[in-house]
Structure 1
Amino acid sequence: MSFDPAFNPESLLRELFSTAIDAAHPRQVLADHLPADRTGRVIVIGAGKAAAAMAEVIEREWQGEISGLVVTRYGHGANCQKIEVVEAAHPVPDAAGLAVAQRVLKLVSGLTEADRVIFLLSGGGSALLALPAAGLSLADKQGINKALLKSGASISEMNCVRKHLSAIKGGRLAKACWPASIYTYAISDVPGDEPTVIASGPSVADPSTSAEALAILTRYGIEVPPAVLARLHDPRAETVKHADPCLARSHFELIATPQQSLDAAAAKVRAAGLTPLILGDLEGEAREVAKVHAGIIRQIVLHGQPIKPPCVILSGGETTVTVRGKGRGGRNAEFLLSLTESLKGLPGVYALAGDTDGIDGSEDNAGALMRPDSHARAAALGLSATAELDNNNGYGYFAALNDLIVTGPTRTNVNDFRAILILEPTK
C-alpha cells in the first residue's frame, strides 16, 4: 500500500517487532527442517529460551516413540506431554540448571548406533545447561559468569570461557551421545550464526583453546579462582576438536537466524510504503552502537543518504553493557537511552529496541520506545539522559516516560531487534 502520513509510528514499530519475533518462532520454522521419516524411537533433549516451544513442535510432528528432557528459562516453559520441561536460571546458572544438565548426560549415556537423539538448541542454553567441569563448583561458574556479564565481553568471548569450564559444552554433549546419531536444530542468537558460539556449541567441534579463554579473563581484569586457573592450564581439559571421531554422527542445522527476522521486518516496512535499510548483526557497547545509528540518522535527515525518508533502519545482533552504575538496565534500554541523548529530540525520528526473547537483560521488559519528544518529556520530569546513562538506568528512564515494551516471554530468541523510523521533515 502507499505511505499514509497519518499512520501511527508507534504501532508500526510494535508491528515490526512482532513480525521479527514471529519469523523466528519454532511453530513457524522447526517442522520444515525435521526428517521426512518421523517414525521410530527418538530421544529429545534441549536447552535455551526456545527449548519448550521447540519441544511442543516435536510432540506435534513426530509419529514415533518420544521421550526426553529440555531446559528453558524460568517463565518460558510449555505444557508438553511426552518431553519433560524443566525451568532454570538465566543469565547466571543455578542449581536447577546443574541438576538438569546431569540428567541430560545420564539420559544420553550408553546409547547405541541404532539410537537417534534430537537436540533442540537456542540462545540462553549456555547458562541453562550448566555442568561444571571436574574440579569446579557451581559457585566457580556463577562467579565467572557474573563478572563476564558486567565486563562488556562479547557473547563469543563469554562462550569461549564457558566452554572451557564445562563438562557438556564445546562438543562434549556429542561425545556423550556417541555412537548414537545426534541431530541438532538450532535457533541462532549470535552475530555470524557460528554453531560453535550458539549456546557454547555442545554438539559441534570447538576451535578455541583454554589459552584463549584465559586471555579473555585477563583482558577484562576478571579475578580467576585457583580451581578455574588450574582447569585452564590443564591440557586434558581441552574442548572437542574437528578431528574427533565422536562428531561423525553429529548433524547440525540452523532453523532460524537474526537475518531472517530482519528480512521479515523489511518486507513489512515495504508493505507500509517505506524504504528499509538493514544494517545487519551488530556487536559492541550498546551506547556506542547507538551513536553510530545516530550518525546514520542525521545523514538521512540532512542529506538523504544513504536512503531518503520516509524510511526504517533495521539492525540486530547482540550489544554489550559495561556496568559501572547502579541503575536498572538492559542493553536495549541502554541503546535507546544513548540514542535519545545523541539525537536530543530530532524531529520525525522514532525508535524501538527490544530483545526478541521478551526479556531485556534480567528485567521484566523486552525493551523500550523512543519518540521525538522523549528527551523533552524526560527533562520536564527532571531526568537527565546523560546522568541516567552514567548510572546504567535505561529501564528507569523509559519507565518514567511510560515507554517500556512488555511482551512477556516469547519462547524464541534471535537476540536484539532495533527499528528506527525516520519520517520526512514537515514543510
Structure 2
Amino acid sequence: MSSSLILIVRILFAWAVAVLLAGSLWGWLFDGIGGVFALLAVGAMALALLGAITHVRRVSLLAGRLDAAVLANRQQRRIELPMETVEAYELVAEVLHHLPRSGDVETSPGSLQVQARVRRSDPFGGARPSRWNLLARFAVTHDRVLATVHPGNGTVGVTVLCEPDAAHWVDLFALDEGSNYQNAESVLRALSSKAAAQRREEQARAEREATDNALTVARLNLLQAQVEPHFLYNTLANAQVLARTDPPRAEQMLGHLIQYLRHSLPREHDTLSTLGEELERTRAYLEILKIRMGTRLQLQVEIPDALKQVTLPSMMLQTLVENAIKHGLEPKPGGGTIWILARQVDDQVTVTVADDGCGFGDGASAGTGIGLKNVRERLRLTYGDAASFSIVSNFPSGVAATIAVPAPAPATAPVQPPPVPAAAVDGGIHHG
C-alpha cells in the first residue's frame, strides 16, 4: 500500500510542478491565470490521479501484490535455459514473434539480441481520439521488448527488458497500466513453458530410444536363441544314432560337443562375439561333423590374426558354415571343401564362407530360408546400414556367402588380401 501511495504522490507532484510552470507561462502571456487555465489545471490533475489509480488497480490484479518492482513502468526479467546458445536464441526470437500485438521484430544474431515493438491495447477501437483530448493524442501507444541471450556452460541466461516506447522523462507523468509487467511475465512464461516442453520431448525421446534398444537386444537374444538349439538338437540326435551303431564314434562326438559347449555357454547371453572366438566355436562344430562325414568334409581357413578381434554377432559364422554343409556338401556325392576367408578393405571387414557343393541347383536341398533371414535381421539390428550380407553362386559349383561389418576403430593397418583358392577365385566370390 505504501508503494502505491508513493507512486500516486509522485505522479501528482510531477503534474503539479508542470501545472505551476504552465501557469507561470500562461500568466505572463495573458496577464493573469484566469478561469480557463484553472479549469484545465484541475482537469489535468484529475486525469493524472485517475490514471495513477487505474495503473495501481490493474497491476494489483495482474501481479496479486503491490510493490515498487511491479508498479514500475520498466520491467526486467532473467531466466536460465538448459540448452545451447543458438537453440536458446531461436527460442527467444520465436517467443517474441508470437507475443500478442507484437510487430517490427528485429533480430541480431551477432549480438544475440532480439527486439520487438508491442502495440498497447487500443481503448479507441482503432479510431483517432478527439483533437481536444490532448492527453490521449500524445499518449504512449507502443512498448519495447529487448531480449539478450548470455552464453554459458550447458545453460544460457536470457535477460528480458520491457519498457514504454518513449523517453524516460515520460515515466514522471504517464503510467502504462501494467502493460510492460504483462509483457515481461508473458515472455517469461512462454520461455519457461517451451523450454520445459522441449526437455520433456528430449526425455521422451531418450525413453523411446532406451525402449527401442531394449527391444533390439531382446530380438537379438531371441534370434540367437533360435540358432543355438538347432545345432545342439542335431548333434544329440546324431550321437543317439551312433550310440547304437558305433559307440566309440558316439563317444568321440560327445567329447567334441563338450569342447563346443565350453566355447559357447560362457557367452550364451551375449549377442556379440569376436571373429576369433567364432572361429574356435566353428572348428569345434566342424570336428563333430567330420565324425559323420569323414573325408567328405575338408576345411580351409584364411583369417589374418589382425582381424580376429573384429566383432561379429554370436553364432553367425557357424550359421553360414552350417548352411553351406546342409545345402551344399551333404547332398553332393563325395562331399567337398569349406573355405572361411576374411579380409579388410578400407573401413569394412568382409567374412566369406564358400563351398564347392551343389549350389543353388543340381540336387541342392531346399531350405526354409530362416537361417539366412536370421543373419540379415541380426546384422540390421546390430549395425544398421553399416553392415551387409550377400550370397552368390561359386564357380564351378557351390555358393559363397559374405557378410561385411565395420572395421574396428581406430582402424588397423590395411591387411593384404590372402591368396584365394582357385575354386573361390574362379567363382568370383562377391562381397556385398
Fold shared by both chains (TM-score > 0.5): no
Taking structure 1 as the reference length, the TM-score comes to 0.25
TM-score under structure 2 normalisation?
A: 0.25
Greater RCO, CA 8 A, separation 6+: 1
